[in-house]
């Protein structure tokens, strides 16, 4: 039996992750589903149950610490001790910094960053006395490299990365059996681009290349089962993180030239389109966005990343065999 809590579980990556855990563990899966939108949560519950698992719908705003703690209490009371807690909930605003409003930045920070802090605190309160459990922070390439038009979101993701590093050091200092890991994602084909608050003249889109949310979901499940410090999903994530370490000024100039157009389609923005910054939108929006025809369902880089120790051992063994064969010929 495994008890998992997923924030942002009603749509996008969180929705795909709920399905992935249910598919992986079947009748042994008990999943607490946290989000604001009840319609999406109920649909996620049905999908978990179709795979044989149990699910608990928890309509919660992760920006409220008391709501998060109460949800954790209910999960443990109705589903059992929490084994895995996944912090995934987010909101964003597409806007130049000069046009951002203070309350918008506050809201993005409260959901995307403080929601992770509150979820982590709720998980630690229950995991530390048992000396076991895993906390998965769903990060992003944008936790390491800010891009134009998403300053509030990038700032929140950077904050998650710093917070998680501090926590990791403290857990190591205490010799704790609780593990924290961060899964950094590339651009994903999720519904967020249809409901994110935007001031762009054209409709927002993920920066290509675009990955289907199941790739992220499978990586999150893998990270929950392995004690890896961090996992980067997709070659673009690796390129962005390392490119920023090596040549950040070049990245600044490149994004200044390309970052605006890359985040917009050719369609004009709909000024009447509702957004989910302050309230969830009604209906079930599922895991996928509208960019399926431009999205990939495979990530060889992620597979290689997950199997690095085995690959390294195989390469080392091959090198030893080659040297032995070469020495015999000599």
Q: What is the DSSP string of 56-108?
A: EEEE--TT-HHHHHHHHHHHHHHT-S--EEEE-----EEB-GGG--HHHHHHH
Segments of the chain assigned E as strands: 2-7, 29-35, 54-59, 84-87, 93-94, 134-140, 179-185, 197-198, 202-204, 210-211, 230-232, 264-268, 295-296
CATH class of 2-298: alpha beta
Question: Active site residue: 25, 113, 144, 153, which one?
Answer: 153
- Residue 317 has what pLDDT? 58
- Residue 321 has what pLDDT? 59
Whole-number Å distance between alpha carbons of 8 and 17: 10
- Residue 300 has what pLDDT? 79
The domain spans of the chain are 2-298
Residues of the chain where predicted confidence (pLDDT) is lower than 70: 310-330
Instruction: Give catalytic status of residue 144 as yes or no.
Output: no
Hey, is 212 helix, strand or coil?
coil
Q: Please say whether the beta carbons of 85 and 122 come within 8 A.
A: yes
- Residue 307 has what pLDDT? 72
Hey, is 6 helix, strand or coil?
strand
DSSP H or E stretch at residue 163: helix 151-174
Q: How far apart are the first and last CA of the chain?
A: 57
- Residue 115 has what pLDDT? 98
């Amino acid at each position: 039996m495994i008890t998992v809590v997923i924030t942002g579980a009603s749509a996008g990556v969180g929705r795909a992750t709920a399905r992935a855990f249910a598919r992986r563990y079947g009748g042994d899966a008990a999943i607490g589903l946290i989000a604001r939108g009840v319609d999406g949560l109920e649909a996620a519950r049905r999908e978990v149950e179709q795979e044989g698992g149990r699910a608990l719908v928890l309509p919660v705003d992760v920006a409220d610490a008391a709501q998060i703690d109460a949800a954790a209490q209910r999960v443990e009371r109705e589903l059992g001790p929490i084994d895995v807690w996944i912090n995934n909930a987010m909101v964003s605003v597409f806007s130049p910094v000069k046009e951002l409003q203070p309350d918008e930045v506050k809201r993005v920070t409260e959901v995307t960053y403080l929601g992770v802090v509150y979820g982590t605190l709720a998980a630690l309160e229950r995991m530390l006395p048992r000396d076991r459990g895993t906390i998965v922070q769903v990060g992003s390439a944008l936790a390491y490299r800010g891009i134009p038009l998403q300053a509030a979101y990038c700032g929140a993701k950077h904050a998650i990365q710093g917070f998680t590093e501090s926590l990791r050091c403290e857990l190591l200092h205490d010799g704790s059996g609780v593990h924290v890991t961060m899964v950094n994602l590339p651009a994903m084909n999720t519904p967020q681009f249809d409901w994110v608050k935007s001031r762009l003249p054209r409709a927002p889109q993920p920066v290509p290349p675009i990955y289907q949310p199941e790739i992220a979901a499978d990586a999150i499940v893998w990270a929950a089962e392995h004690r890896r410090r961090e996992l980067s999903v997709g070659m673009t994530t690796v390129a962005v993180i390392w490119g920023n370490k090596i040549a950040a000024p070049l990245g600044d100039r490149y994004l200044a030239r390309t970052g605006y157009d890359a985040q917009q389609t050719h369609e004009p923005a709909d000024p009447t389109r509702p957004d989910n910054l302050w309230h969830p939108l009604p209906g079930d929006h599922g895991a996928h966005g509208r960019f399926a025809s431009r999205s990939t369902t495979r990530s060889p880089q992620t597979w290689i990343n997950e199997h690095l120790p085995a690959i390294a051992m195989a390469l080392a063994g091959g090198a030893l065999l080659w040297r032995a064969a070469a020495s015999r010929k000599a």
